[in-house]
């Protein structure tokens, strides 16, 4: 056979092989790219639980730093601050793995309650939790949602305490403060670490009111601004006004005893009504 | 084709499919092939009819091109996590010849450059409306108008988003089985018949022609929205849908209006809330009672069915499919099938109309 033809065939074969290999590489890269893009899309949807959709969109479109330039906006939100009563003292007596296990169970239960009541957990502070209602999306029922969430948290802790007691572990006690008010919402933090947050007196007051649960010996306390929004939907008991750090006037609070009559949103679907013929 | 919604939890179907030869053959005539889900909605005929008729490709669009409308359907279904609708739109695009890679690029949003600026603006509006509701959609609407899209086309975009919102919610609430739609592009017979199916579906699609404004009952809400589409076949379709919904007997008119009121309050859509409050006054509900109901979603004046359905309406504002489906599952045990399907239709329609009204009817340039 003509050596020229053989050489041409060999070159053609080599080129075909190289083309085939490149095609395979491209296909593999495309698969990786598709996977990454799908994950990004899912991440974007998951991020909507941490920041308003507009902020997430801006981050995706222009990068995290551009989103941090978004001006903070004034919003009225309901802040729920919860803390474990006496846990610091208890933790000193427990082995670290046991303490971690107890805390994990607590965090999961309270964050499930927040999520189920249209709120979002903003941050964990040791064994405390700060959650907002109405910060990510408009929510005209934010106060009732926060109070129902608090009741669900207390209920979840009761069930959890039964588990802990069965395992020979000490039960946990919860204190919850809820306040509604204005503040500035936006991307907050240092250059290295920023998060969507809310700043203002509202957060401080929710934390102070939470600490008053120990003073009054109750589990859930709400302020006057929350009480106004609740109307007669819950059974509330007035507590004597107390001075708290950073606030000039004594703060009036109400203890939440439970829903008044029928629980509106949460239990409605379970009411047994003779409607079917 | 891998689904971007593969991670979305989805219950097994919550409603037993029924039989109605007339409605099923109507759907087949409209679509060209058997309708996959109409049988799930037969208990409330207006909902079944809306599921069949509320498709912009059936002669409802005069300005917006069908390809952009299809892409809007894809992104809204993806944002609303409706596995069924998403699979259907993807399969339809595939049947029409769009390759899987292009579909993925549109979904992934990184290849918006493939699309002309008006289509990009339309998709951005669709995403904003689904993610943030009217609050976020208003600025996207302004961008849409700034991109040179005229009033009628912009309203057609808003309508396309709204009908997709409706379809997403009704199919999510009954947990329509998504696997047959998702697997369609892999089915050997469908692959073989792809060109034929494309021709059949294509032959049933049509462009809209100018139409007169149908008469409306001034005592009922959304007359303004229908009038905003004067001259378009959308006005006739909307008016007919609203009329059928209001006269349907399975839920009281007051209950339907209250469900609309909850959605209007939650989004919020102030124009809708005013119109609905006026209609409720006609029904004998005092303004202060309505305010008490909307403030708490509970009041002694509520009927038992209303007490059950107002939380459902609220839940449809922002939802995760599985959570909403669990709510519907609980309701299924206490409501009759016609009541349940009608409630699903009302909640879905309230979301579609209130979202559309809050932007398309209240924006400065509308």
CATH number at B196 reads: 1.20.1290.10
| B-chain residues near A60 (CB < 8 A) | 109
- The answer to whether the CB atoms of B296 and A233 lie below 8 A apart is yes
Concatenated DSSP letters for B181-221?
A: HHTGGG-HHHHHHHHHHHHHHHHT-B-----PPPP--TTST
Q: What confidence score (pLDDT) does residue A200 get?
A: 87
Contacts of B334 in chain A (CB under 8 A): 269, 271-273, 275-276
Share above pLDDT 90 across residues of chain A, in percent, rounded to a whole number: 45
Is a pLDDT exceeding 60 seen at residue A205?
Answer: yes
Q: Which comes out higher in pLDDT, residue A183 or A43?
A: A183
For residues B275 and B165, membership in a common domain is answered with no
Please report the pLDDT score of residue A267 as a whole number.
40
Is B187 in the same domain as B234? no
Q: Tell me the pTM.
A: 0.85
Residue B184's pLDDT is what? Answer: 87
pLDDT digits 0-9 by tens, B8-40: 889 899 999 999 999 999 999 998 888 999 999
CATH code at position A152? 3.30.70.1230
ipTM reported for the complex, 2 dp? 0.83
What is the number of alpha carbons within 13 Å of residue A155 lying toward its C-beta?
12
The residue among A67 and B359 whose pLDDT is bigger is: B359
The predicted pLDDT at position B348 comes to 97
pLDDT surpassing 50 at residue A272 = no
What is residue B260's predicted lDDT score, i.e. its pLDDT? 98
Same-domain check for residues B48 and B158: yes
Give the pLDDT score at A53: 64
Q: Domain boundary at B138, B173, B203, which? A: B203
Task: Tell me the average pLDDT across A59-64.
Answer: 60
pLDDT, average across residues B196-225: 87
Residue A104 lies in domain: 72-262
Q: Which residues of B touch A233 (CB under 8 A)?
A: 296, 298
Of A37, A45, A272, the CB nearest to B110: A37
Return the pLDDT at A276: 41
CA dihedral over B184, B174, B312, B238, signed as positive or negative: positive
Residue A224, in any domain of the structure = yes
Instruction: From A262, A221, B50, select the one nearest A271 (Cα to Cα).
Output: A262
CA distance A264 to chain B (A): 6
Given a contact cutoff of 8 angstroms between Cβ atoms, the answer to whether A144 and A178 are in contact is no
Count of domains observed in chain A: 1
Residue-range definition of the domain harbouring residue B85: 44-203
Please check whether residues B178 and B228 belong to one and the same domain: no
Q: Is the pLDDT of residue A270 over 80?
A: no
Under 8 Å between Cβ of B338 and B43: yes
**Is B239 in the same domain as B314?**
yes
In the prediction, which pLDDT does A269 show? 38
CA distance A246 to chain B (A): 32
| Residue B4 covered by a domain | no
B103 and B230, same domain (yes or no): no
Domain count, chain B: 2
- Say yes or no for a CB contact (<8 Å) between B108 and A37: yes
What is the average pLDDT across B290-305?
92
The answer to whether residue B246 sits within a structural domain is: yes
Q: Is A125 helix (H, G, I), strand (E, B) or coil?
A: strand
């Amino acid at each position: 056979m003509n050596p020229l033809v053989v050489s041409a065939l060999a070159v053609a074969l080599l080129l075909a092989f190289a083309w085939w290999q490149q095609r395979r590489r491209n296909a593999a890269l495309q698969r990786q790219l598709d996977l990454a893009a799908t994950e990004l899309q899912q991440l974007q949807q998951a991020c909507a639980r941490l920041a308003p959709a507009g902020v997430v969109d801006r981050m995706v479109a222009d990068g995290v730093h551009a989103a941090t330039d978004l001006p903070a906006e004034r919003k009225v939100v309901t802040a729920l601050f919860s803390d474990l009563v006496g846990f610091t003292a208890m933790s000193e007596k427990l082995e670290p793995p046991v303490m971690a296990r107890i805390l994990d169970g607590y965090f999961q239960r309270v964050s499930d309650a927040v999520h189920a009541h249209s709120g979002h957990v903003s941050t964990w502070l040791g064994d405390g939790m700060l959650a907002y209602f109405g910060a990510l999306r408009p929510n005209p029922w934010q106060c009732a949602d926060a109070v129902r969430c608090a009741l669900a948290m207390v209920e979840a802790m009761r069930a959890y305490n039964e588990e802990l007691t069965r395992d020979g572990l000490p039960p946990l006690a919860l204190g919850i403060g809820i306040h509604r008010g204005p503040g500035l919402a936006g991307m907050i933090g240092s250059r290295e670490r920023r998060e969507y947050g809310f700043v203002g007196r509202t957060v401080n007051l929710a934390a102070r009111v939470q600490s008053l649960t120990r003073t009054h010996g109750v589990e859930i306390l709400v302020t006057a601004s929350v009480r106004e929004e609740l109307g007669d939907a819950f059974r509330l008991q007035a507590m004597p006004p107390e001075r708290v750090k950073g606030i000039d006037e004594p703060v009036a609070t109400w203890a939440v005893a439970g829903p008044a009559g029928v629980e509106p949103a949460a239990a409605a679907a379970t009411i047994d009504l003779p409607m079917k013929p | 084709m891998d689904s971007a919604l593969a991670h979305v939890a989805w219950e097994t179907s919550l409603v037993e499919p029924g039989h109605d030869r007339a409605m099923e053959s109507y759907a087949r005539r409209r679509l060209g092939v058997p309708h996959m889900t109409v049988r799930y909605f037969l208990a409330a005929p207006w909902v079944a009819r809306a599921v069949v008729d509320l498709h912009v490709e059936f002669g409802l669009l005069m300005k917006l091109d069908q390809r952009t409308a299809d892409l809007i359907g894809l992104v809204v279904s993806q944002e609303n996590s409706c596995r069924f609708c998403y699979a259907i739109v993807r399969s339809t695009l595939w049947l029409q010849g769009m390759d899987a890679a292009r579909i993925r690029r549109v979904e992934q949003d990184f290849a918006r450059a493939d699309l002309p600026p008006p289509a990009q603006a339309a998709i951005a509006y669709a995403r904003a409306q689904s993610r943030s509701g009217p609050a976020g959609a208003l600025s996207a609407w302004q961008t849409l108008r700034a991109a040179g899209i005229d009033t009628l086309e912009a309203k057609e975009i808003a309508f396309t988003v709204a009908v997709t919102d409706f379809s997403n919610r009704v199919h999510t609430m009954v947990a329509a089985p998504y696997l047959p739609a998702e697997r369609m592009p892999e089915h050997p017979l469908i692959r073989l018949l792809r060109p034929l199916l494309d021709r059949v579906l294509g032959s049933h699609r049509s462009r809209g022609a100018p139409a007169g404004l149908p008469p409306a009952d001034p005592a009922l809400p959304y007359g303004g929205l229908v009038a905003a589409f004067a001259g378009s076949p959308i006005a006739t379709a909307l008016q007919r849908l609203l009329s059928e919904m209001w006269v349907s007997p399975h839920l009281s008119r007051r209950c339907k209006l209250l469900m609309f009121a909850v959605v209007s309050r939650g989004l919020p859509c102030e124009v809708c809330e005013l119109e609905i409050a006026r209609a409720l006054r006609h029904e004998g509900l005092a303004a202060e009672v309505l305010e008490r109901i909307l403030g708490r979603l509970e009041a002694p004046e509520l009927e038992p069915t209303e007490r059950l359905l107002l939380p459902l309406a609220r839940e449809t504002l922002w939802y995760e499919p599985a959570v909403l489906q669990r709510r519907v599952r609980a309701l299924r045990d206490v409501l009759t099938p016609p009541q349940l399907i009608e409630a699903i239709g009302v909640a879905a329609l309230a979301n579609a109309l209130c979202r559309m009204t809050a932007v398309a009817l209240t924006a400065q340039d509308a």
